[in-house]
Structure 1
Amino acid sequence: MWRVPVSRAHLDDAGMTLLFLGLGIAIHLTGLGRIGDDLHGPGPDWFPLLTLGIGCAFQLLRSTHPAIALAGVTAALVLDTVTVPSIPVWLVFSDIVYAAAVYGSARLLRVLYGVCTTVSAAVLVLVAASPALAQWRLLFVCVLWLLALVGSPLAYGLAVRTHRSALALERNQSRILAELADRERAEAVADERRRLARELHDVIAGRLSAIAVQSAAALRYPDNDALARKALAAVRTNSVDALTEMRGMIDLLADTADADAPAATRETAGLRRLDRLVAPIVESGTDVEIDCPPWITDADTVDALPPVADIAAHRILAESLANAVTHAPGQPIRIVITHADATLRLQITNPVPTPAPDSVAPHAGRGLANMTVRAGLVGGTLDVVRTDGDFTVTAILPAARTATSHRSTS
């Protein structure tokens, strides 16, 4: 079975055309269709029905092809005017003027202005040249006629066109804003996932690296009970600290963290905890040299540095030490911490043996990227340099020293 696809626009145009055709036939049958005896042309009385049919045929294209509809109806209007001028064709022309103003292109709109001006001028000239007794009255009625059937549809169509253009612009802007919002949400989710990955890496990887070093030291000397007890105590300490930090992270994600969360984080992640980072490495047999101002690691001056800089420095040191003992086990490590001109400078250096051709490059993974991000988040920088067999991590963090507050620690 064959089916011809018909759009909503075609149905609307067909309905409008049938309405004007029926109205025109009704006006003609009542005898009110002619426009004055003085304007009667040479055509027969039934001729307005023919021009009406021609105009309605082109009216079927009012919204889909407004340019063709305007040209066809204008031609029908001219033919009607020079034969038997009638009202129904003018009604069809007024609807086409409206449709062309609403659905037509910008170029057709300029043509529409010209058509309306030409038709109005021609009608005024024709009326002015008629031998009517009360010519000024007929001219006045003609002006009202043109305003009603040409000016009003044109103005209303332009208003509808402007409204539709504004509506389309608003919809486009809403779509763009929705896309931007979706993109921002996706970026926010990605940033949050990266932040969580960074936090988990620093908390878990650092603590597990320390536990691994301590366990390795205990296993190296199985008959040394004192060393084994020390290793077990250090393992427990690192495990408890890791659990504390994990609990703080879980509370933060669950929106249950309170205002003391940063302080709680600094209990296990601050430069005053440097000894806990270094002790298991030293006990495993690695030489660690520290050059650091005493007030930085003093428990009584924990608030002398901004919390963000203090925590970031601890994370960078922990990751650097974990990398050193993982990729260069047994090699001496040197830590230099300085504070001058409101700047905290960290430098961690350790020798790195030349890897075998088939081995993995040292210090490869998320650690360096995480340290770089942490330094950038607090407004600092991080550089990694390997020269003459030494691997050096240098972090420069803005850390203006604040008024020192003393507090007791357990």
Structure 2
Amino acid sequence: MTLSPRQQDLAIALAGLLAGLLLVSVGAYDRNEDVPAWLAMVPVVVMAGLEVMRRSHTVWTVSVGGVVFGVGVFYGSVLAMVVMYTDLLYAGVLYGRPRMGKVLHLTGGATTLVLSSLTLLYADVPNALVVAGFCGLIFIAPVWTADLVRRHRDRAETERLRAEQTALLAELDRRGAVVAERARMARELHDVIANHLSAIAIHATGAQSVARRQERTADDPLVEALAVIRENSVQGLAEMRRMIGLLREDSPEGPYAAPRLDALDTLLAQARTTGRGAGLAFEAYEEGERGELPAPVELAAYRIVQESLTNALKHAAPGTVRLRIGYRPDEVEITAESPHREGQGRKLQGAGAGLVGMGERAQLLGGSFTAGPADGLWRVRAVLPREAKGEQP
């Protein structure tokens, strides 16, 4: 058990008081026959009371303690009182103002010099040396010790503050580097990818205009393909601009809004429109109560569903793609099954990166992810804990 500073002071005062009472009761003190024993306890009691305020009122405790010490020596010197007075001198230097040490060094040295000189004048050299030794132990030793401890403590505090300052500067440098890198990434996304998406949307719109002039019907495969290209490019451009706003924290567009599972219907509608020409149909089922999901879990679930549907559009054979999302008390299970295309499938640049990304999202949250052929289907299964156990994606 660790005592607080206040409790430590009370314990010191109580220990000194009990020690003084014991010494006086057995007569183990410098007795004056003309002074009753109970009177010798008065300085001990007062010194114990001063010990309680040794940290908060250093000037008063040292000053009053010196007077009490002189009175105690006259009425009968008790060792407990002497020890408590040396502790008051120690606390005065350690917890008081910096100039307190200089003052007590001067007064302690002067007191030792005066008392030893008077003893030498009225007695002999051996007694003068004994007085000088005792005075040094009482008036000088605790002051010198406290001054040494305070210097080490102040030096340690200075080093701690310097280390904190260094760490703060390093953190500021790191944040500055992150901000600069985010700005560079935002600039590259804006100048390269966003421009390409914008060009795709513009050319798709132009192609739609040509198709209308050719009086092509709305169910014409070319018209449908152009509509899908334009819609996806516009949506991709909008998400790219929101991502740029996230990277640029001072963007007037505001903070980036992470997609939510409420938008699954929109994903399915887009997938049905895009996959109609490839003979794909999409079905979705939800089991259990969704409830309130943490933002990292909901974002990971949305991205896994989005990537699963995209992979089905790219690689699945004609048939029905079934998406199931099960909401359980402790986890969210996502299963996507699509008709498996035998062989290597369509060779596309970056194939396989989507599976790796989905697996990383699940693992970062402490979940699991599997993907592969099963019973003539391509099955993707991800289990995400409702309370994220790992890093946020």
TM-score (norm 2): 0.47
Larger radius of gyration: 1
Higher relative contact order (CA 8 A, sep 6+): 1
TM-score (norm 1): 0.46
